[in-house]
Chain A
Amino acid sequence: MTREVRGVAAAPGIAVGPVKWLAPAPVTSRDDAPGSDVDAEIARAEAAFETVAARYSAQALEAKGPAADILFMTSALAADPALLDQVRGEIRGGTPTAHAVTEAVAHFGAQLAALGGMMAERASDLKDVGQRVVAELLGVDPPGIPDSATPFVLAAQDLAPADTATLDPATVLGLLTVAGGPTSHTAILAKALGIPAVVAAPEAVSLAEDTEVVLDGTAGVVELEPSAARREEVLAQRARQADAPTGPGRTADGHAVPLLANVGSAADAALAVELGAEGVGLFRTEFLFLDRKSAPTVAEQTDQYAEIFRILGDRPVTVRTLDAGSDKPLPFLNLPAEENPALGVRGLRLSSVDEGALLDQLSAIAAAATRTGTPVKVMAPMVATAEEAGYFAAKAGAAGLQSRGVMIEIPAAALRSEQLGARVDFFSIGTNDLSQYLFGADRMSSALAALHNPWQPALAATIAMAVSGAGRHGVKVGVCGESASHPEFACVLVGLGVETLSMAPRSLAGVRAQLAEVTLEQCKAAAAAVLSAATADDALRAARSALGRDK
């Protein structure tokens, strides 16, 4: 029997190839052999800092926009006189040279971290500087993605979003991380890039470099040293996925399930159209604001929304108003830091602090819709009560937007969906945050990843409740969370009465292909099986059986 490593499914798809580990950060110790000549050691450290600072500067000159600013600042950190003084002091005090760098970085990193917020984020930039200087001193490769001519499965303790963003799907076949969670930003980026990913797999630490594996990002399983026959099978499956059916989403018996895309930029929108999305179920507007130092004007927002609406043409677009807050800070909002940002002033709640930002955004969305003629719907994130739903519907209506909805991502909203449904036209269920609040489990915590498994029966039960309340008012329900991109769970959602599914564009083909193989009756049976299951494992097994996918 093939050995395997289990983790959590984070981005769908299957890959086969050798494992390559992300070059680890070099480790230093107080017990390393110290240099014999203090002055020579100080000169060596100074030279290493200079080399690293010069590399950042060179990168900054080639980069554009926010990346250039960050690299410029990082090069200044690598040339910082106080940091170098600290290193010199450590070396004079007898600390081995490379370890002196680690210690000096930890000293200032702790000070930055203590300040919290954005200053604390700079601590990770400083840590990167330190690791690169240490690598230079030890003459080893700096931490980062391995340089390999042949494609591979990238394994890492965890990946920074910056690492994931630079991945090339042509060389990185799959992602395997020891830590991380299924709704972390790394998982979302992996999905956007179409790279299958398995996260939170603690046993993966024992995998040797170049071990051949089959990585199944849909099931969350990594098979070690597959047979030649299994390799052939996987390669054939990858080829089939590449030419999956196109056209509108429907079940084998013709029940239409519009397949929509989650987008955050013009590039995403173009990809969504290319991959056959029937519209956009979630347009994340905050991505247009993230690198802004001041609030964009109504005119600027109108231009940016219109650019994306134009790409979609006459396909419907659901725009989500700004989902920022202290967990996703925007510099110009000047929000105070909160103890529990996920439970704080975010999403629609921001309008209690700065209603103008919401009203400006609604005006811009309405103006862009008029300009392009695109059918536009608008919805608010982080809605908990019927009053909030009514408030948003009134403000959106006043701006001239006719189709108004709310996200269902707080359990209170699902419990009271009938009362919320009386005030809006549609619901969109955000399963990532809904799981986080339903299970009281931080979506970024890898230790709690099992609670974010979409097969947890409580999630389906909550969705069923929201659908039932919505039905009393003819309110349409869609799902725009990560769970919609899981082909088999998508069938369960359809069986629960969800009418549209919205996902990363690269996930559309897999869901479309799976839906085409099952009937609406099978979807309903799978949904019933999940609702009556006691555990997530039971739910998955029972749903697979109802869908005719027993192994």
Chain B
Amino acid sequence: MITRTAVVASKTGLHARPAALFAKAAGESGVPVRISVEGKDPIAANSLLQVMTLGAKQGDTVTLHAEDGAEAALDKLVAMLETDLDA
């Protein structure tokens, strides 16, 4: 099991468009990825609905979880989270 942390860069947080783009990328990564915020259980990163219900705002730290060997996929998703997808 590997994890990566990322600080959410999008102005509106993981809402609407940024959340939709992230969930789509997670679904297309080919590996099961889960995402969590502090104090809550990890949820499936490919579900837009669940990603939105994390309620992660700009500046919040989120953690990505996947099986060993998915390092490259997680790194790509971290880079995405740390980009302002609202811009």
Contacts and interface: CB of A to CB of B under 8 A. Distances in A.
A112 B52 contact: yes
Interface in A98-126: 108, 111-112, 115, 118-119, 122, 126
Contacts of B27: 81
Contact of A82 (B17, B19, B20, B49): B49
B64 to A, nearest CB: 17
Interface in A63-100: 69-70, 72-73, 76-77, 80-83
A112 B20 contact: no
Interface residues of A, number: 23
A76 B48 contact: yes
Contact of B15 (A77, A108, A118): A118
A331 interface: yes
B43 to A, nearest CB: 8
B47 interface: yes
A247 B23 CA distance: 57
Given A82-B47, A83-B47, A112-B53, A331 B12 contact: yes
Contacts of A108: 49, 53
B57 to A, nearest CB: 9
B78 to A, nearest CB: 21
Given A73-B17, A112-B53, A80 B47 contact: yes
Nearest to A293: B86
Contact of B52 (A70, A122, A334): A122
A294 interface: yes
A287 interface: no
Contact of B44 (A81, A118, A122): A81
B46 interface: yes
A333 to B, nearest CB: 10
B16 A122 contact: yes
A293 B87 contact: yes
A332 interface: yes
A119 B16 CA distance: 8
Given A73-B17, A76-B23, A294-B87, A126 B12 contact: no
B49 A77 contact: yes
Q: Is the interface of A mostly helix, strand, loop or mixed?
A: helix
B11 A73 contact: no
B11 A82 contact: no
Interface in B30-62: 43-44, 46-50, 52-53, 55, 58
B27 to A, nearest CB: 8
Interface residues of B, number: 23
Nearest to A80: B49
B83 to A, nearest CB: 13
Contacts of A118: 12, 15-16
B46 A81 contact: yes
Interface in B58-78: 58
A69 B86 CA distance: 11
A81 B47 CA distance: 6
A122 B15 contact: yes
B4 interface: no
Contacts of B47: 80-83
A122 B50 CA distance: 12
Given A112-B53, A119-B55, A80 B15 contact: no
B48 A77 contact: yes
A330 to B, nearest CB: 10
A321 B15 CA distance: 28
Contacts of B86: 293-294, 331
A82 B23 CA distance: 11
A412 B12 CA distance: 35
B11 A332 contact: yes
Given A72-B20, A76-B23, A76-B48, A119 B11 contact: no
A76 B24 contact: yes
B23 to A, nearest CB: 7
B16 A115 contact: no
Given A76-B23, A82-B44, A331 B11 contact: yes
B1 to A, nearest CB: 21
Contact of B49 (A126, A294, A331, A332): A126
Given A73-B20, A81-B44, A293 B12 contact: yes
A123 to B, nearest CB: 10
Contacts of B11: 293-294, 331-332, 334
Interface string A235-266: 00000000000000000000000000000000
Contacts of A72: 17, 20
A341 to B, nearest CB: 18
B44 A115 contact: no
A225 B54 CA distance: 54
A162 B87 CA distance: 24
A331 B11 CA distance: 7
Given A108-B53, A115-B52, A294-B11, 9 more contacts: A69-B16, A72-B17, A73-B17, A80-B23, A81-B46, A82-B47, A119-B55, A122-B16, A293-B11
15 contacts: A72-B17, A72-B20, A73-B17, A73-B20, A73-B48, A80-B48, A80-B49, A82-B50, A108-B49, A115-B53, A118-B15, A118-B16, A119-B52, A293-B86, A334-B11
Interface of B: 11-12, 15-17, 19-20, 23-24, 27, 43-44, 46-50, 52-53, 55, 58, 86-87
The 3 lowest CB-CB distance pairs between A and B, nearest first, are A82-B47, A293-B86, A73-B20
